[in-house]
Amino acid sequence: MNFQDIHVRYGNKPVLNGVSFSLKPGALTAMIGRNGCGKSTLVGCVGGTVPYTGLITENGLPLAGMTRRERARLVAILPQVLLSPHVTVEELIGYGRNPYLPFGARFSDHDRQAVEWAAEITEVKPLWEKYVDRLSGGERQKVYLAMILAQTTPLLLLDEPSTYMDPGYEYGFMQMLSRLAHDERKTVLVVTHDLTQAFTVADQIVAMEDGKVIFCGSPERCAAEGITERLFRLKTHFVLEDGTRNTYFSQV
């Protein structure tokens, strides 16, 4: 997916000021930046809830020219604020099939298979008959992930998905996103404030500041260019332990 010169204004205030970058296909990209820098607004542009000028394309096709259903078959979005409706987990995941169902139609076998697959891959099958409004914050996040996976789109956009998760749950969740990108060949963009997870798991980092993308590249290059120092006054350190790259930060 390509973003070319995206501008958004709220009244006279520019929120996105010429955003341009590309998402790496089949990879996990983490988007970082201070509060209010325009990350969620950019997700809204892709989702069709925020009007913008500029061009967002997928395989050369502009998103703005697509119908809502075409867009929903291409990109699935997990917004920052998730509600807790009184429906079962099975029903909620089934909502992900909406872009494929004609007016008044029932589920086909293919729809049911997509729902089953999404539940299995996110390991939410044990929650199947529970009500969404009775789940913990972390469980709810996973169930919503299953719902957007049931959309069977090549692109996934997640806006701060680990807000309600404890560190262990968050680690497992990010690993799951990484597997989706690498094993299922999904293009995943996750907006996050957790720098450790972002630099440990992501293949690509996109850093935003004041409505602009100031960096797009590998975590190593992001560290080398001192992006976290500029944004958060934190220095990035990589440590290799038993072949695994770990990341920690120190205050500048």
Partner 1 sequence: MSSQVKKRMAVVYPLLVGLLVLSCALSLRYGSSGMGLKEAVSALLGQEGYQTQTLIMYVIRVPRTLGALLAGIGLSVSGVLLQTVTGNDLAAPNIIGVNAGAGFAVIMILYFLPLSYQLLPFAAFAGAFATTMVIVIASSRTGRDKTSIILAGIAFTAVLNAAISLLSLLDTDVLSSYNAFSIGGLSGVKTEALAVPAVLIGMSLIISLMLSRQLGLLALGDSMAVSLGVNVRQLRLAALLLASASAAAVVSFAGLLGFVGLVVPHIARRITTGVRSVLITSALCGGILVVLADLVGRIIAAPSELPVGIVMAMIGAPFFFVLLLRQRGGR
Binding site for partner 1 (CB under 8 A): 44, 47-49, 68-69, 71-73, 75-77, 79, 81-83, 85-88, 90-92, 95-96, 98-99, 101, 103-104, 128-129, 131, 133, 151
| 184 contacts: CB under 8 Å, gap ≥ 6 | 121
Q: Decide whether 90 or 184 has the Cβ nearer to partner 1.
A: 90
Q: Decide whether 44 or 211 has the Cβ nearer to partner 1.
A: 44
Count Cβ atoms below 10 Å from residue 60 Cβ, excluding itself: 6
Among candidates 210, 206, 227, which has minimal Cα distance to 17? 210
Give min distance, CB of 134 to partner 1, in A: 8
Give min distance, CB of 165 to partner 1, in A: 19
Give min distance, CB of 96 to partner 1, in A: 7
Q: Decide whether 105 or 224 has the Cβ nearer to partner 1.
A: 105
Question: How big is the CA angle at 50 (ends 215 and 105), to the nearest 5 degrees?
Answer: 120
DSSP label of 79? -
Instruction: Give the CA dihedral 164, 204, 143, 34, nearest 10 degrees.
Output: 30
Q: Decide whether 69 or 237 has the Cβ nearer to partner 1.
A: 69
Give dist(CA 139, CA 112) in Å, integer: 21
Give min distance, CB of 140 to partner 1, in A: 11
